[in-house]
Structure formats: C-alpha cells, structure tokens
Structure 1
C-alpha cells in the first residue's frame, strides 16, 4: 500500500531473480500471479543453474541451514541492546511465506542483452560469488548498474556462518572489476540488493574499486600465508583490512568478517584438514570432551580455573573450555552458565552483527536449551519446481541408510502429465535413478501425475489413499513401493548444537 500510494498501481511486466537465495525469490507470489506466467504474459528471468542451486541450499541442506540461521540472524532473540539489534544486511529477516515460481528465461551466456517491457538490460553472469547462481544487470538507457548482492555496504560472506558452499573471493573481485570496467563508467548510479544506491560516476567508481580490492586482498593474502605454511586459525587471527581502506565503512565487517572469511578461502582450496595427522582422525566431540575434562583434573577444577580467566577477560578461552565440560556432562549447570556468560561478553564486543547473534543465541541455548520445533519438509513451491532428477536426489537424501541395509527395490515410474519416465533403484543402501527408461525386471510400476507425487512426498496424501481414489496405479508388488516410502526420514530442526546430539 505504501508503494502504491507513491508509485501508483502498475502491472508487473517481468520478474528478475538476481540469485538463488530465498530472500531474493521467496516473495514472488506477493507481486505476481502465476497464471500470468503460465499464459506467457510475464517472463521470469534467472541466472544459469538457478533451480539447481535453490535445491541444494533449500531442499538438500535446508534443515541444518534453517537451524544454523537461528544463530546467524538471531530471530528468536529479544530485540534490544542486550539481544538482537541487527542481522548484518538489515534489521531482521522476513517471516512471511516463502514462495517460488520457476523461471521461464535462463541467462546462460556471460553477457546477454534483453529488452524487457521496452527497457534494455545487459545481464552479466557472476557465478560462485555471493551465491552459486548470480548475475548483475546494467540498464544503458537509465545509466544504472545493479550489482545484485555483490557490493553491499559492508564486507560480505565468503562463507556465511549459517552454512553454505564456500564462495570464490577471487571470482567475486574479478566480476566486480569487469562490471566496473564495462558498465560503471557509463553509469550515474550503482546499487545492490538490501542497501542504498551510490550516486555519481566518480563516487561509484571509487566505491566499486574498494569493494573489489577488499575481496581480492582477502583472497590473495590468505593464499600467500597458506603458501608460507600458515594454518586457518593463524591466518584468521592475523589478517585484517589494509590501512588504506580500513576506515571505509562500506567494507567493514558488520556482516562478514576477515576472520571467518579467511578460514573460508583456506577451506575452498585445501579443505577442512590442516595436514597435522593428529587432526586427521580425532575423537568425536563427546569422547574428546570427556578425556579433555579428565586431563583438566575434572569439571570442578576446570570451572574454577575458567572463573579466574573470565575475571581476566579471557572470554574466548572460557567459552571453549566450558564447551568441553558441557559436552562431557550436559547437565552441569555451572559450566553452562559460565559458558553462556563468556559467549554473552563476546557478543557484546564484536562488530559483526551475525557474530553477535551467534554468541548471544548460543548463550541463550546454554541457559534454556534448544528450541522445540516440529519436523520440517521442503517448501511446496520449491518441490514442484524441481526437475525429476533433483526431485529424486531429494528422496535419496531422506533415505535412512541403516534401515535400508540388505534391501533391494527397483521401481519404474511413469508420469503421463509431463511425458517422462524413470527407474529408481535401491541397493547397497543407496538410491539411484535413470531417466527416460524402465527396468525390464522391476518390483513395481507406478503411474501417476507429477503433481500427485509432490503431494505424496510432502505427506499431504498417502500413496494407498491415492490408489484407492484412482489417482495412481501400481502394477506388481505394491508392498515394495510402501517399503521404500517407509525408509524415508523426517527431519527435526531443533536439534542440539551446544551440547551432545540426542538420539532420535
């Protein structure tokens, strides 16, 4: 209503998804009727690999990312000076319903020009930057450059602490440099999603150069220290913005930080292992914690020493030490409280909003325990937008390997509404598939519409009910189909993070 009051009620003539993160497509049904897309009246543009990356992030790894996002963004913290004050890119995250209308136009070339409702747009693909699938847009007639989320008014994340694929800081700098060279000199304004524009060609050229150089410096200096033999923790402790740009507030670590971004660059090139054989096969967390506390002289002695260090302001070490005591004995209330106090102090002292949220929510969970939340399933719009390959990948990641031990199941699938067929094979506790074919000796043959399969996999309708209603047909051993669905896990989001994971 506020927008309409100032801009008038104008029809939406196109939608552009700049990249594959939920907050950049999830509100599409609030501005667009899918009937207009289906009728061909409204195109929906997206970068190459958009749907694939949406699936990886929100379906295949959706549950742990959702849980970890509670720490990154702090939505369950109280608002205020002792709680959540910011989410890094903005004051908070959306709490609306996530929706998705699959794109109709995919940008596949490094540079593509399209005229959309009379407006010329030059699309620049920028894969593996802030998102695996992302793109910039230059509007020559408007002398305007949209940098998606690659040049926000803070240092961004090479790796967000909610979890994600590590991004390519070198490519990030490269694409910003190319956009600056090709488009910025012809622009009067540059802007990125979440934040405000920069006006004036000379100002925006300076802005983009410093953004570019921050990511390039982060990348190159991490690699330089790696090649000197430095470990991730040492690099993270040393690396900071160069003095020539450290006072530029638009690349300060209000969101990402040089510390965890440097670790991320290391991880992208060398992975999680630091080459110290002592770290190659360590004890799992609980066993390690119990031995560590034993070496400390027991929990009482460890807590006493930790209180002394807390009084000295050594909060990082106290949080680490008390985490060991809690993992050794989650019921140790004194350790939980002291660990929470240390995390709280770390939260108050950090510049990064996401670090603050993580520390303060960690303190909250040590005191109150993890949230109780029902099992989650993938969003219906995301599920129905998947290709069948991606759909069966989703089914495969829900397969409980322990329960599947010793079982073999082969099922042919036919989807008359979309003219596709598949064969699904379970053996060796792994679910594999092939498209455009059937097995000669399948246990069962299932015929149903793709829309119905979506409802079944999301638990909206049981397969036996669908058969009884004449919506699906099973030839052969229907028990094998039921057996397969019985092997699929549901995922609870409120699992433990700051204490041992409880068996479910």
Structure 2
C-alpha cells in the first residue's frame, strides 16, 4: 500500500495470476513513483487488473503508468455510473478547479501549506493518464474472479454515488475506498459538489460492518487491523453521520434557519474521538449540506425570496455605516474579537469600492486570523489561498498546459457539448443558426444549433440532409482543437487547404465568437 505519494493511496494486491491495483492516484508522475516503490518491495509481476473505487481524479488519473508493461487485455473495473459522473464534472470544471485550488491549498507556498486534508498535496502540474473502464459493476454487489483471486465488488455510495468497495473474504479484508478515513467525513466539499446523500453513506458503512472485516484498507490514511476495533470504529463513524443528518432534519422541521441549525448541531461526547476530529470534513458544513439536500436554496425567510443583489446589499450597509470610512473603522475594531463581522464588513466595502486599501488590509488580516484558528485543512487552505489571491500573489485559473491536456483528450461530442456553457446569450441570443462540422479523421458530423438562446448539439456518423445548415465546416479534429486552444489560426489552416468553410471564414469567425473562452493562468 502506497501512502504519502499523492493525495490518495494506491493499493497493490498480489493475486494468484498477477497483480491488482486499487486506485491509481491523480497523476502519471505519482503513479510512476508508486510503481517503482512497489517494485522495490515485492515482485509486482504483470498487472492484470485495475479497480477504480470511484470517479475522483485522485483515484483514476494515474492508470496509464501502471499499464505500460502489461498486456492489452487488462481488466479495468468501475461502477457503471463512473463515466457519467466524470463527464458531469466537466460542466462546472472552470469554477470547480479554482475552488479546488483553494480547498487543497495547491498554490500555497511550502511554509503555509501543511497538507491537503487527507493526503500530503495535490500537484497542479500533474499529467493525466486516465484509461476508461472496460468492466462495470451494474448490481449492488458481484462475485468476481480477478487475476485468479475471488473477490466481491460491493456498491457503497458515500462520497460519490459510483463508489465501490472490494471484499476479499479469504483474508477478511475490505477495501473501503473513501467511505472511511481518519477524519470526520467530508459530507460536503467546499470546492463545490452535488449534495451527498449522507444516509446512503451511513448505510454503506452498515454493509461493511456486517461483513466483520479483520482488515480495513481505506483509500486515504492508514489501514486498521482488528475485527472488534474496526467494528467499533465503523459504528461510531456511521452514527456520527446519522447524528448530523437527524438533528439537522429535527431543527429543519421547526423552521429554523440553516445557519442557526449548523451552529446548533454538535457531536456527542462519545463521538469526539481522534477518528472523528474535523481534520477534513466539518459538522457545520455537513449540516448545511443536509438542509440543502432536502429543501434546496430557499431558507424560508421571505426577505430572501427576492433579495437585493450582493452589491446592492453591500452599498446599503455602507450607507448605514455612514460611508466606507466608518465601515472600515468598525471592521478594524471587529478584528479584535469579532472576526466574522470584520471579514463580512470589509468584504462589503470591497464589493462597492474594489480598490479600497484599508478594506483590503482588514480583510487580509481577517483571512489570516481565521486560517490560524482552523482544525480542518480544507478551511485553512481556503482562507490562506483567498488571502494570497486578494494580494495578487497567485492565480487560481486553470493553467494553459492543463487546459491543452484536457481538450486534447476529448472527443468531438464532449467538447461541443461544453460550448453550451460558453454561449454568450447577450451577443448571440437573437440568432437562429445551424452549423455543420465534419471531422474526416473521426468520420463524424457535429451539428450545433442556436435556438431561443440555447445551444443544441447532435453528433452523427451520417450527414443530416434534412437540416437547413447555415455554416458548413470540414477540418480534422486535431486542427479544430488547435483553433479552440488558439494554437493555430483558421486563416493559415484554410490557406494550406486543411480547412473548408462553404460560407467563408468570416461566417465561421462570427459563429465561434458566440462562445466565450476559458480564462487560463
């Protein structure tokens, strides 16, 4: 088992007919170091299978490194939902990337970055080597023989809906993915995740408890040995999850505001163990996530049904204070014993006066003071990264090279579907157009329709003659990706004869200008 090489662990199982890898970490670089370390410890032999426990990048992106010297018929196992879950990430990838930079402290200088919560660090310059699964778990559990070893693959939704665990009954060993680790669980991730069904998580832990494993091997932090200890730890872990859920629902049904509920919900003394210390997840955030899971964004306060915008509220608060000068005086005073108000008030000033140096100074001090008080690495990293962003010392946008790597790994339909979220409706919402893109190297047509302010994308192996097309483009997929990444010019490509546009380059330019470009660092 490799711990400390990456954010997640990677696990090697020596099976009768070869090796099995459970989880591959977030990059080829980390996976290569792990494979080298494994090889110095055991005879790795041929890797016959990889098991992805779930879709998160720190579990799937290093696969290529493990398979370079293996045969082509390697089994790659995952839950059937994994691919859809990964594609869902692409929808919000721009903002999720920036927020993940903050949560994991990826850009924090070494003196400030202690760790990334449940692992040492996440590297921003990671190289990706994800390989899609070719074996899918489609049931609640399935008995399989993998590399000659009899295992049971078990669906254990928790941190993600597609999560699977591995039970080796012969060894009384359960590989529990991210359903258990040495911290209060991350029932909500501040980088931005869909609401996690926390009671499904608790029930997954019940599944594991029922097996009475002697060895519990998580994909983060160290394994645990001992049937009774494991059973007792799992019991407290699942009870902590249920407590947060049930007590949140209790107060929710009394029409209490989610902020007040989150302050009220606490673990009992019996649950305050080292295994449930809030190093990674937070009871406070988790309670808010449970509320949102059941009720959504509206907190029931009628004044929040059609509220002022953020900037409008900030402007009025500053007016009540007597102006920015007096708001800053109050914020500076609050730094002594009311950090929340100092941070909020200085933020209000900056929303209206973005260059106010005194408000910037106060907010910076508040952020650093908040960071110093945190137990959770996630919140500490987020406060410190936000402080450095405000100071102009770091840029959390996706690096250009990482964008290039991502785009180059996409198929035409995947990339064009992302255009939907880049459509500039203010400039092009009045248009009614259909564009046909033909990629001869893929032998695939992509049709992009602008209609009623939305983008519709259809891919086909055949030309759709029934459509009234306003723009007809023929180019290789490689060249088109270069256009998107601004690595080459359509004009130069057209002059070389590698691009055909029936309606002319001006029409293509106008069409592509309807889609915003992602900002990179």
Relative to the length of structure 2, the TM-score reads 0.84
- Show the 5 A alignment for 1:75-90: 75-80=106-111, 83-90=112-119
Distance 1:78 1:339 in 2: 20
- Corresponding residue number in structure 1 for 2:291: 266
C-alpha spacing 1:137/1:453, structure 2 compared with 1 (3 Å): farther
How far is 1:88 from its partner? 1.1
1:116 is the counterpart of 2:142:
no
Distance 2:407 2:172 in 1: 38
C-alpha spacing 1:274/1:73, structure 2 compared with 1 (3 Å): same
1:44 is the counterpart of 2:76:
yes
Partner deviation per Cα, 1:146-178 (whole Å, 9 max, x = no partner): 111111111122221111112111111111212
C-alpha spacing 1:386/1:97, structure 2 compared with 1 (3 Å): closer
How far is 1:326 from its partner? 1.8
Q: Contact 1:18–1:46 at 8 Å: present in 2 too?
A: yes
Which secondary structure does the structure 2 equivalent of 1:195 belong to? coil
- Show the 5 A alignment for 1:25-424: 25-33=60-68, 40-57=72-89, 59-80=90-111, 83-95=112-124, 96-127=126-157, 129-181=158-210, 184-185=211-212, 187-246=213-272, 248-311=273-336, 313-368=337-392, 371=395, 376=400, 383=407, 389-414=413-438, 421-424=445-448
Which secondary structure does the structure 1 equivalent of 2:516 belong to? coil
How far is 1:202 from its partner? 1.3
Distance 1:476 1:166 in 2: 46
Q: Contact 2:438–2:475 at 8 Å: present in 1 too?
A: yes
How far is 1:198 from its partner? 0.9
Q: Contact 2:94–2:397 at 8 Å: present in 1 too?
A: no
Q: Contact 1:417–1:449 at 8 Å: present in 2 too?
A: yes
C-alpha spacing 1:176/1:89, structure 2 compared with 1 (3 Å): same
Distance 1:383 1:42 in 2: 26
Which secondary structure does the structure 1 equivalent of 2:74 belong to? coil
* Alignment RMSD (CA, Å): 2.8
How far is 1:426 from its partner? 1.2
- Corresponding residue number in structure 2 for 1:501: none
Which structure has more relative contact order (CA 8 Å, sep 6+)? It is: 1
Q: Which runs of 5+ in 2 are unaligned?
A: 1-35
Which secondary structure does the structure 1 equivalent of 2:271 belong to? coil
How far is 1:462 from its partner? 5.0
Which secondary structure does the structure 2 equivalent of 1:13 belong to? strand
C-alpha spacing 1:423/1:361, structure 2 compared with 1 (3 Å): closer
How far is 1:372 from its partner? 7.6
Relative to the length of structure 1, the TM-score reads 0.87
C-alpha spacing 1:160/1:375, structure 2 compared with 1 (3 Å): same
Distance 1:43 1:461 in 2: 39
Distance 1:223 1:478 in 2: 58
Relative to structure 2, which stretch is displaced further, 153-162 or 482-491? 482-491
1:18 is the counterpart of 2:53:
yes
Q: Contact 1:422–1:434 at 8 Å: present in 2 too?
A: yes
Q: Which runs of 5+ in 1 are unaligned?
A: 495-504
Work out the number of aligned pairs and report it: 482
Which secondary structure does the structure 1 equivalent of 2:270 belong to? coil
1:2 is the counterpart of 2:29:
no
C-alpha spacing 1:124/1:456, structure 2 compared with 1 (3 Å): farther
How far is 1:357 from its partner? 1.4
Q: Contact 1:337–1:366 at 8 Å: present in 2 too?
A: no
How far is 1:378 from its partner? 6.8
How far is 1:239 from its partner? 0.8
Q: Contact 1:52–1:390 at 8 Å: present in 2 too?
A: no
Relative to structure 2, which stretch is displaced further, 407-416 or 390-399? 407-416
Which secondary structure does the structure 1 equivalent of 2:192 belong to? coil
Q: Contact 2:202–2:239 at 8 Å: present in 1 too?
A: yes
C-alpha spacing 1:267/1:369, structure 2 compared with 1 (3 Å): farther
